[in-house]
Chains A and B, each alone.
Chain A
Amino acid sequence: MAMELLVDAVVYGNLLSLLSIGLSLTLLTTRVSNFAHGDFATVGIYVAYTMSVLFGANPYLFLPFSFVGGLLLGFLVYRVVFEPLRGKASLVTLMIVSMALDFILRYSVQIYADVLQRSLGVYTRGIVFKDVNVNFLGSTLPGLLVISSAVTWLFLLLLYLFLYKTKVGIAMRAVIENPSLSEALGINVKRIYALSWMLAASFAGVAGVFLPFRITVNPDTGFSILLSIFAAVTLGGLESLLGSIVGAYIIAFSETVGVYYLSQIGLSTAYRPAISFITLALVLLLYPRGLAGLWSKR
């Protein structure tokens, strides 16, 4: 039992950290609290699902497609929706715009699901992916654990290398800190912003592919985990990328373990989301800097 719990927590943590770091990134660069972020993951799910249905292969193989789909989506969303508002809209307005974007994306996926079902005759709601077993270091492990961990940590490593070892990455950190100075130095801030959205959406798309291996997925699944993502980012510290990763694993473990204990004391496991919401509320009210406030000097 404990082993299963641990595996579930780790997988959920992997997923959540990919999602949180993307949300954090777009928040840091363009100051948008993106309520459509969960829907980026949903798009990733349906891309992988469509391909796996069309080609009859395991959805894992289509991770790259979800990744690329995310890149495109992120780029489009930034250029069409948020770039025209640069310097013109307040923080709350940007949030509201992301709400509108959530409606657009979420219900477009609903329409897509209907159309796909109609045209291909497959079920497009209540999607579940079947996992494979992987032989790793002599034992048989769930493929989801191995693959999600490998992918997540690879992506996080690549992101780190990008931000600290490449010129464009360092420029992104500079833009996060001081856009006008960056602009003055000749850095194309618009392009950096677009890139941050592309990264956020593509990470989310990839994370999405892992979801149906754990839970039943519908067009609004991405939206339904949005608050856990916000909780993770808030817990970690809204100004910190590293913080959101830490926050993600803590939330993931809390929710997974918490659900187990909830059932032990007779409360419905459906209270699970409350863990995130309460965490979010407590952090914002008591210590808004989040965990990052503990290690950051600023």
Chain B
Amino acid sequence: MIVVDVVFFVLDLAVLYSVYVILASSLNLEYGEAGLPNFGKAAFFAVGAFSVGALSVRLGAVFLGMALEGDFKLNSLRWAMSVSQSVARNPFLGLGIFIATLIVAVLVGSVLGVLASYPALRLREDYLGMLLIAFSETIRIVARNYDPLVGGTFGAGVVDFLAWAGSPSREILLLFLSVVVAAIIWIVYYRLSASPFGRALRAMRDNELATESLGRNIVKLRMMAMMIGSAMASVAGVLYAYYVGTVNPDDFTTSKTFLITLMVIIGGSGNPYGPLVGPAVYLAFDRLIQFTKQRLILPFDPNYLSYIVLGVILIIVVDRHPGGIVPEKPTLTLPRELRSLLRQRRVEETWNRK
């Protein structure tokens, strides 16, 4: 039925867009505002998803007094389905599972974010980026191989917490939920960006020494930025996990981090509207390519093209319009000359490191 198709298409697009907006906002906060290149983004995204993957079924079983016998890896999908059946009869069970997993996700994400902020103290920015990638991959490898967590390579089944609503209400609710959550998070990000906290982050990004001498606690600022950013990414992971219905560690590779990073830069890393633009650009191209692939006969899988196009766009943006599609608006507090001197000094320091 065409209506169902349209509903699913819109749902898919809206949920993905919401998830990416949240992720892009979190990276914007960490990198665009605070100057922390959190290339471990996929890991924090994963934390949210893994919380759901590891816990939704187990919690459901606890609430239901169900005993889970056997291997998690082999049975999680089956167990998820039977818990979902119970949810179909009991909406509060679904809600309970959802909220519990969300809380765990946000807590774990925040703690991890705080931990990850410590290396930022001693490392040059590109080395910090590398460290965070290593961290991200380690988490993925562990999840991939430690089966009890999220079922290793099989992935984990996720309880359908909306099983009590029939189609298409279920889909509409999910869409609504994602969009609302994304909107809330984005507004929080926007407010933070415009607040004194945001200004302090940007000052720290542009010149640590000066910011410190003005009495700002750099360590605390970094920690807060990473904590909030990681919590956000975690929430995105939760939404994603419930939407997809399963959690697989291979979805959370460095490539995912790269993807989000590209979105952020293309959108505009210093501008709060950037996280709205970047994902839109990517999804627009991606859907466009999906759409035309049915019309053109190509000797290869057109999905690859969206990555190549995105990569090319990023290179063009960095070369021609480095601020991104919506560049950072200059603050009115620092005189323009001083601001660009600070920026130029950052660039100079890069090229004339000795």
Binding site for B on A (CB under 8 A): 31, 33, 35, 81, 84-97, 99-104, 106-108, 110-111, 114-115, 118-119, 177-180, 223, 227, 230-231, 234, 238, 267-268, 270-271, 273-274, 276-278, 280-281, 284-285, 288
Contact, CB under 8 Å: B322 / A284: no
Centre residue among B134, B314, B346 by max chain A CB count within 10 A: B134
**Separation in Å of the B145 CB from the closest CB of chain A?**
5
Say which residue of B119, B304, B352 sits within 8 Å of A107 (CB atoms).
Answer: B304
**Separation in Å of the A84 CB from the closest CB of chain B?**
5
Which residue in chain A gives the minimum CB-CB distance to B146? A268
Contact, CB under 8 Å: A96 / B261: yes
Interface size on B, residues (CB 8 A): 49
A101 to B262, CA, bound (A): 11
Which residue in chain A gives the minimum CB-CB distance to B354? A178
A178 to B353, CA, bound (A): 9
Contact, CB under 8 Å: A281 / B141: no
Contact, CB under 8 Å: B318 / A96: yes
> Taking the complex as formed, is B308 at the interface, i.e. its CB lies under 8 A from any CB of chain A?
yes
> Taking the complex as formed, is B284 at the interface, i.e. its CB lies under 8 A from any CB of chain A?
no
Contact, CB under 8 Å: A89 / B311: no
Contact, CB under 8 Å: A93 / B318: yes
> Taking the complex as formed, is B333 at the interface, i.e. its CB lies under 8 A from any CB of chain A?
no
Contacts of A86 in B (CB 8 A): 351
Which DSSP category, helix, strand, loop or mixed, fits chain A's interface?
Answer: helix
Contacts of A267 in B (CB 8 A): 145
Q: Given contacts A111-B300, A114-B301, A227-B137, are A274 and B142 in contact (CB under 8 A)?
A: yes
Contact, CB under 8 Å: B315 / A101: yes
A119 to B304, CA, bound (A): 18
Contact, CB under 8 Å: B141 / A180: no
Contact, CB under 8 Å: B301 / A110: yes
Centre residue among A87, A107, A108 by max chain B CB count within 10 A: A107
> Taking the complex as formed, is B295 at the interface, i.e. its CB lies under 8 A from any CB of chain A?
no
Contacts of A97 in B (CB 8 A): 314-315, 318
Say which residue of B31, B123, B307, B352 sits within 8 Å of A284 (CB atoms).
Answer: B123
Residues 101-135 of B contacting A (Cβ, < 8 Å):
119, 122-127, 129-131, 133-135
Contacts of A102 in B (CB 8 A): 258, 311
Contact, CB under 8 Å: B301 / A91: no
Contact, CB under 8 Å: A95 / B126: yes
Residue pairs across A and B with Cβ atoms less than 8 A apart, 29 shown, are A33-B130, A89-B322, A89-B347, A90-B125, A91-B124, A96-B262, A96-B314, A96-B318, A99-B311, A100-B310, A102-B311, A103-B262, A107-B307, A110-B300, A111-B300, A114-B301, A230-B134, A234-B127, A234-B130, A268-B145, A271-B142, A271-B145, A277-B137, A277-B141, A280-B131, A281-B134, A284-B119, A284-B134, A285-B131
A179 to B352, CA, bound (A): 8
> Taking the complex as formed, is B335 at the interface, i.e. its CB lies under 8 A from any CB of chain A?
no
Q: Given contacts A285-B119, A288-B123, are A101 and B311 in contact (CB under 8 A)?
A: yes
Which residue in chain B gives the minimum CB-CB distance to A80? B315
Q: Given contacts A85-B319, A95-B126, are A284 and B141 in contact (CB under 8 A)?
A: no
